[in-house]
Amino acid sequence: MLVFMSNVTDNKIAAAYSTISNGRGEPMDRSPNSSPFANGIAARGCARENAEPGGITNRVFAGVPSAERERLFPALSRVALSRGDLLNKLANGSDSLYFPLGGMIGLFTVMADGRTIVLAATGREGFIGVSAVLGADVPPSRAVTVVACEALALSTKKLQKVMGHNPHFAANLHRYCSDYLTQVGQIGACHALHSVQQRVALWLLLTREHIECGSALITHELLSELLGCRRPSVSEALSVLEDAGVIHGGRGEIEIIDPSRLATMACECYGSLRWRQPAG
């Protein structure tokens, strides 16, 4: 069962945080001797066992030899990301790569009038910071935590040195960059060609793919920001889905009743994008 909350009055897609904590109001341990590989890390509120060796669930680290991991961990730090966190406003966020260990981070393009639309989304299958790896300039964008998680952070100042000394890790970075660019193209075509109802169904399902415990919080406002459309259009689409019996709304909550049928009401992009999401 997946439950989305719609009674939260968010007026922006992100609420920037000036400090990063571990969820208990305490600073995260960022000392060089605190290995991010030492302990299992799970998305806050959605505890699950880490699936990969060494306690790291992010796929970019999959298959990286132990010798490379030992060289990597002093350059990495652990951060807790709450829903709505704006990564390029967090401490040193604008010059860091983020490797989610769960949850979902959306990359939004921002227009001059403040309107937004999602370009891509990633969880533990990838990272935020593709432009730094490719050495490319990108238009103004916002990386926003859509589903709360913890992540590994790597300063871009250390990136080239890290890539030079860790070829397997560097190859995995470039492999995800290719997937990311494919995703951006698919989502761009989706925004241009598919209906609001299809895209609402798509993003409910994609968010579900990134949730590792079966529940999450997302607002009508955030869905509107994801799709780049008016909130009443999102509400109308949700009403159609409810009338079809695939979701249920009540007391400000939206429950996905039938994910399989919801998938038939989403656009073809779901099939293309789904395989890029983290396995359950």
Say yes or no: do domains 14-190 and 195-274 share a fold.
no
- Give the pLDDT confidence of 146-200 residue by residue, as tens digits: 888 999 999 999 999 999 999 999 999 999 999 999 999 999 999 999 999 999 9
Whole-number pLDDT of residue 140: 62
For residues 146 and 89, the model is more confident at 146
User: pLDDT tier at 79 (50, 70, 90 boundaries)?
Assistant: very high
Least confident of 83-92, 102-111, 210-219: 210-219
Instruction: From 166, 91, 169, 71, select the one nearest 127 (Cα to Cα).
Output: 169
Whole-number pLDDT of residue 93: 44
- In Å, how far are 7, 81, 235 from 121, measured between CA atoms? 24, 15, 22
- Give the pLDDT confidence of 240-271 residue by residue, as tens digits: 998 999 987 655 566 778 889 999 999 999 98
**What are the extents of the domains in the chain?**
14-190, 195-274
Residue 162 near residue 154, CB atoms below 8 Å: yes
Quote the radius of gyration of the chain (alpha carbons, Å): 18
Whole-number pLDDT of residue 199: 96
User: pLDDT tier at 27 (50, 70, 90 boundaries)?
Assistant: very low
pLDDT for residue 214 is more than 70: no
| CATH number listed for the domain at residues 195-274 | 1.10.10.10
Answer yes or no: pTM beyond 0.85.
Answer: no
* 242, containing H or E segment: helix 231-243
Whole-number pLDDT of residue 138: 62
Which architecture characterizes domain 14-190 according to CATH? Sandwich (2.60)
For residues 149 and 215, the model is more confident at 149
Residue 145 has which token pair? Answer: 């935590």
pLDDT for residue 100 is more than 80: yes
